[in-house]
DNA sequence: AATGAATGAGCCTTCATTCAT
DNA sequence: AATGAATGAAGGCTCATTCAT
């Protein structure tokens, strides 16, 4: 089962969506096509299993990064989160890309993406508080904007295979944006009461 | 030719990527499949033609919005830009989504997306200057972060069919983020010399 | 189209239901599988087309037999009908059998059989009248009994490949049964008023 | 073993031939597929076992009906037989239908059907004698006609799911046909010596 | 005796593309 | 330029059957 999912990831990584056929996956996994179908109802089910795995990995990475006891300033913590996201997206770019594509192509993508986004939003919120609180709870729109812009930037860099993806400068700018935004939210909220 | 591309857009809009077959497009366009192949060497060529058209339309929309002589403050001009982006993405969501997917699925997507992003980055830069300049020229990474976060947020809202997509509150938050980021960039740059 | 149906009949005739694959049919018809699917939505559609054709042929045969101006006595006309049914059932036994099976396996069979049965029932009724009327209109149950017993006997003989299928003795007995039954019905009806 | 056959009948009854897979049968029987193959060499072997069982049950029903000491007139005894046949065909229609189909699909059907038909023919003969004999031994063709028409009518009613299947009127007509036929045979035979 | 994971031949069907008219 | 019937490679999936445990 795990080997089949792994094979699927490899196929996707190497040949993209076009190469992703159940027969190819079975062959690479070293099992018969029948066995594949014993574990996954559907080509789609396999895809979802793969996606779920990737998502959980990403979640874990971000979560672990935030547990880390590095720099506990707002800047430091945002940077930890940004780094985690970048990392989560860098391993097996093509596979991940293909998974996202395939998922979106069927409408199942959003539900699977949602948890990650929610997690990121919550993390941002948490980060904003800390020792000397920066912000209160975010509104729905605010949470959306933080999480999606962060993920959007990173994803774009991955998809476009930008050379500066791993650079310090890039990280810096993303951090700057998030921190600036959280600050602005805080300022606006502070004024309101 | 135009009618074929239009048919392609409609098919994509209505049935998504799965419904997008050359035969279906030809039929809807009211021409024979042979004629379609007279104008487009390939299914892919048709897709590219469609994408190019959509891209140009988006570009035009943003450009026009920035020409408009509304509120000329930084806030006002960023808001005009944000609105234009949101609009550019809302007409025919599904078709656009499908185009992006299909394009990405083949690796052609990035080149076609690039001009829009470049344009958005330039617009942000321009906006930052204006009467009383906010910022100087952006670095490559900064331009990337502004354009992709903006587009990323809007795209996510479209794909996830968020109900607040057209709301004032959503627009407000995006503007807040862009302005805060531009401000932070400006501050950092100012300090450095 | 006709050649495809014909090929289907031949395949069914030779190899039974098991050999009836769309690929086999296409090959025997000398067309590509794609062409087959241009004319028939489905494997099932092909089956139905075949069945309809066979049914109409059977109908025609019986109809023509009854038009014939042979012996116009009740006995003579019943015999003409019986003979026609036997003929209708004898050509391409296996193909016919397979069609019926396949059809029944999907529930579509009955509707296609019904017209033949209705026709036979009407024929029996007509025969019962003639110059010196034997019977009035049959009740639903009576019509059913005449038509189905007649068809049932012949079908059984065909399926079991009885050697006496074409014999005079066999024909004689069937005629005897039908005539006796019509007589009994007539007698019962006559008594009732 | 019995439970496997029973499971097969249930599957056939509920889902028709299409649902009749060895795996499905094993699951419903609550045994593993391996066990099923321990008892039946083949899917076909299972089918034959099922058919044989059903056949014997039918045989038993008719036999018992004829033993019964109800009305001993020809009419009364024919009616008892007709009723038994109807009953034999009515339980688990779909399963029975499917069995017949499946059997026919492989050519094994006829041999299994034959005993029932033979039995019916013999019964008809017996009935025709009784206290005041109606007929002598039937010819091969006559026996065939009585048994197959009777079975054919009932089977058709079952397959077509005729609403009058259980009605008195229907029974009446079948009885009328059989009795009329036996009478005609008797008359003809009587004349001949 | 029982289990059930594994097998794989082969079926139905789709759809991009061609080419003679 | 346009047509559209024909093509056929290729893919998803089923299910009877085996065999090591």
What is the tens place of the pLDDT at every residue in A24-35? 999 999 999 999
User: Is the CB of C38 less than 7 A from some atom of nucleic acid strand F?
Assistant: yes
Contacts of D112 in chain C (CB under 8 A): none
Quick one: how far is CA B134 from the chain centroid?
Answer: 25
Distance from CA of D152 to the nearest CA of C (A): 4
- CB contact at 8 A, A121 and B116: no
Q: What are phi and psi of C182, to 5 degrees?
A: -60, -40
Contact C11, C25 (CB under 8 A): yes
Quick one: pLDDT at residue D132? Answer: 57
Q: In this predicted model, what pLDDT tens digit does every residue of B8-41 receive, in sequence order? A: 999 988 888 889 999 999 999 999 999 999 999 9
Confidence grade of residue A52 (pLDDT, cut at 50, 70, 90) = confident
Give yes or no for C177 touching D (CB within 8 A): yes
Q: A148, A158, A167: which to substitute to probe chain B, counting the most B Cβ within 10 Å?
A: A148
Which residues neighbour A116 within 8 Å (Cβ) at sequence distance 6 or greater? A55, A58, A59, A151
- Let me know: does A38 contact A29? Beta carbons within 8 Å: no
Give A37 CA → F14 C1' in Å: 10
Any strand F atom closer than 7 Å to D105 CB:
no
CA–CA dist B85, B177 (Å, integer): 15
pLDDT in tens, C104-159: 666 665 666 677 778 778 777 777 665 556 667 889 999 999 999 998 999 888 87
CA of D31 to C1' of E6 (A): 18
Q: In terms of Cα–Cα distance, which of A163, A48, A160 is closest to A99?
A: A48
- Residues A101/A159, Cβ–Cβ less than 8 Å: no
Measure, in angstroms, how far nucleotide E8 C1' is from residue A26 CA: 12
Q: How far apart are the first and last CA of chain A?
A: 55
Going by C-beta distance under 8 Å and a sequence separation of 6 or more, which residues neighbour residue B166?
A: B86, B90
Q: Which of residues 93-122 of D touch C (CB under 8 A)?
A: 97-98, 101, 104-107, 109-110, 113-114, 117
Whether residue D102 contacts residue D47, with contact meaning beta carbons closer than 8 Å, is answered with yes
Nucleotide nearest to C18 (CA to C1'): E11
pLDDT of residue A63: 83
Hey, is D96 helix, strand or coil? helix
Asked if residue C182 lies in contact with residue C74, where contact means CB atoms within 8 angstroms, the answer is yes
Residue B33 beta carbon within 7 A of nucleic strand F:
yes
Hey, what are C190's tokens?
């006559």
Domain ranges of chain B: 48-189
For residues B101 and A101, is the Cβ–Cβ distance under 8 A?
yes
pLDDT category of residue A192 using cuts at 50, 70 and 90: very low
Q: Is the pLDDT of residue A55 over 80?
A: yes
Tokens 């990403």 belong to residue = A58
Model confidence at D190, in pLDDT bands (50, 70, 90)?
Answer: low
User: Residue closest to F18, CA→C1'?
Assistant: D34
Q: Burial, C41: exposed, middle or buried (Cβ in 10 Å; 0-12, 13-18, 19+)?
A: exposed
pLDDT digits (tens, 9 = 90+) for D114-154: 777 788 787 777 776 655 566 678 899 999 999 999 989 99
pTM of the prediction? Answer: 0.82
Length of chain D: 193
Which pLDDT score is estimated for C5?
94
Whether A127 and B158 have beta carbons less than 8 Å apart is answered as no
Q: Which stretches does DSSP call E strand in C63-176?
A: none
- Would you say the C-beta of D43 is within 7 Å of strand F? yes
Answer whether B139 sits within 8 Å of A172, measured CB to CB. no
Cβ-based contacts of A150 with chain B (< 8 Å)? 149
Strand residues in chain A grouped as ranges (E): none
* Interface check B191 vs A, CB under 8 A: no
Work out if B31's Cβ lies within 7 angstroms of strand E: no
Distances (CA, A) of C140 to A120, B20, C151, D95: 74, 53, 17, 27
Would the pLDDT of A131 be above 70?
no
**D84-118 residue pLDDT tens:** 888 877 777 778 777 776 776 666 656 666 777 78
Question: Which residue does chain B place closest to A108, by CA atoms?
Answer: B160
* pLDDT, position C192: 47
Are A185 and B167 in contact (CB < 8 Å)?
no
Q: Which residue, among B145, B168, B170, would best test binding to A if mutated, counting the most A CBs under 10 Å from its CB?
A: B145
Tell which residue, C56, C67, C71, has the closest CA to residue C175: C71
User: Residue C105 is encoded by which pair of tokens?
Assistant: 């396996």
Q: Please state the φ and ψ torsions of residue A20, each to the nearest 5 degrees.
A: -80, 80
Q: Which range is least confidently modeled, A52-61, A104-113, B37-46?
A: A104-113
Query: In terms of CA atoms, which chain D residue is nearest residue C148?
Result: D153
Distance CA A191, CA D170 (A): 90
Residue C27: pLDDT band (50, 70, 90) is very high
d(CA A42, C1' F11) / Å: 13
Q: Length of chain B, please? A: 193
- For residue D141, the chain C residues in CB contact (below 8 A) are 164, 167, 169-170, 172-173
Mind listing the pLDDT tens digit for each residue in D43-66?
989 998 998 888 888 888 888 877
Q: Higher pLDDT residue, D105 or A89?
A: A89
Question: Which positions on strand F lie below 7 Å from a protein C-beta?
Answer: 1-20
Distance CA(C176)–CA(D145), nearest Å, equals: 10
String of DSSP letters for B31-46: S-HHHHHHH-SSHHHH
Contact across the interface for A144 and B157, Cβ inside 8 Å: yes
| CA distance to partner chain C, nearest, from residue D52 (Å) | 18
Nearest Cα residue to A158 out of A169, A147, A170, A146: A170
Give residues 14 to 53 of B whose Cβ lies within 8 Å of A.
16-18
A43 touches strand F (CB under 7 A): yes
- Token output for D53: 């069982």
CA proximity to B75, closest of B183, B187, B190? B183
Higher-pLDDT residue of B93, D6: D6
Q: What average pLDDT values come out for chain B (193 residues) when binned by 10 residues?
A: 92 87 95 96 91 84 77 82 83 76 66 75 73 72 92 86 91 95 85 47
List protein-proximal bases of chain E (any atom < 7 A from a CB).
1-20
Question: Contact B144/B121 with Cβ under 8 angstroms?
Answer: yes
Q: Is A187 on the interface with B (CB under 8 A)?
A: no
Q: Break chain A down into helix, strand, coil percent, rounded to 5.
A: 80, 0, 20
Select, from the ranges A182-186, B31-35, B128-132, C79-83, the one with the highest average predicted confidence (pLDDT).
Answer: B31-35
Cβ pair C154, C89 in contact under 8 A: yes
- Measure the CA–CA gap between C53 and C187, rounded to whole angstroms: 39
């Amino acid at each position: 089962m795990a080997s089949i999912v792994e094979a699927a990831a490899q196929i996707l990584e190497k040949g993209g969506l076009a190469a992703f056929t159940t027969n190819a996956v079975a062959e690479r996994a070293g099992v018969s096509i029948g066995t594949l179908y014993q574990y996954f109802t559907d080509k789609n089910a396999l895809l979802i299993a793969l996606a779920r795995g990737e998502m959980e990995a990403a979640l874990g990475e971000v979560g672990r990064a935030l547990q880390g006891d590095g720099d506990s300033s707002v800047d430091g913590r945002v940077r930890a989160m940004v780094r985690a996201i970048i990392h989560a997206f860098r391993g097996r770019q093509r596979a991940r890309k293909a998974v996202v594509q395939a998922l979106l192509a069927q409408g199942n993508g959003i539900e699977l993406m949602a948890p990650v986004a929610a997690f990121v939003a919550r993390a941002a919120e948490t980060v904003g508080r800390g020792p000397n609180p920066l912000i209160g709870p975010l509104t729905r729109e605010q949470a959306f904007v933080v999480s999606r812009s962060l993920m959007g930037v990173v994803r774009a860099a991955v998809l476009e295979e930008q050379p500066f993806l791993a650079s310090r400068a890039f990280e810096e700018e993303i951090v700057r944006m998030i921190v600036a935004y959280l600050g602005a939210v805080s300022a606006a909220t502070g004024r309101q009461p």
